Amino acid sequence: DAKTTQPPSMDCAEGRAANLPCNHSTISGNEYVYWYRQIHSQGPQYIIHGLKNNETNEMASLIITEDRKSSTLILPHATLRDTAVYYCIVGLSGNKLVFGAGTILRVKS
């Protein structure tokens, strides 16, 4: 299964867009890209997933490059409540999610 690389931490000003990058250069053709987040001590929360096309839902947008080797999660108007650890996960390793270290996003007022 493909591994992912994310920056350990990022800061974002409240009200601005938060753009969280993820590299997954070894992704295979049928592996989806998933994003989850974990707000302090809570259960992980599903955000969005996609295969090739860009995806958007009420929470975020997911931009996947044409070669699928990287993606960006966009929170269009970050709020303080978006402060969390964001996990980019590629594929489902036999039905299980393999969480890495993720990116700590700090939204600041």
Partner 1 sequence: NAGVMQNPRHLVRRRGQEARLRCSPMKGHSHVYWYRQLPEEGLKFMVYLQKENIIDESGMPKERFSAEFPKEGPSILRIQQVVRGDSAAYFCASSPQGNRLSYEQYFGPGTRLTVT
Q: How far is the CB of 36 from partner 1 (least distance, A)?
A: 8
Using CB under 8 A as the binding rule, whether residue 8 contacts partner 1 is answered as: no
**Residue 48 in tokens:** 């969005």
DSSP state of 19: E
Binding positions for partner 1, 20-49, rule CB under 8 A: 30-32, 34, 38, 41-46, 49
Contact track, partner 1, 74-93, x by CB under 8 A: ------------------x-
Size of the site for partner 1 (CB under 8 A): 23
CA distances from 94 to 28, 31, 37, 69, 97 (A): 15, 12, 21, 21, 9
Beta bridge partners of 1: none
Q: How far apart are CA 11 and CA 28, in angstroms?
A: 31
Contact track, partner 1, 51-70, x by CB under 8 A: x-------------------
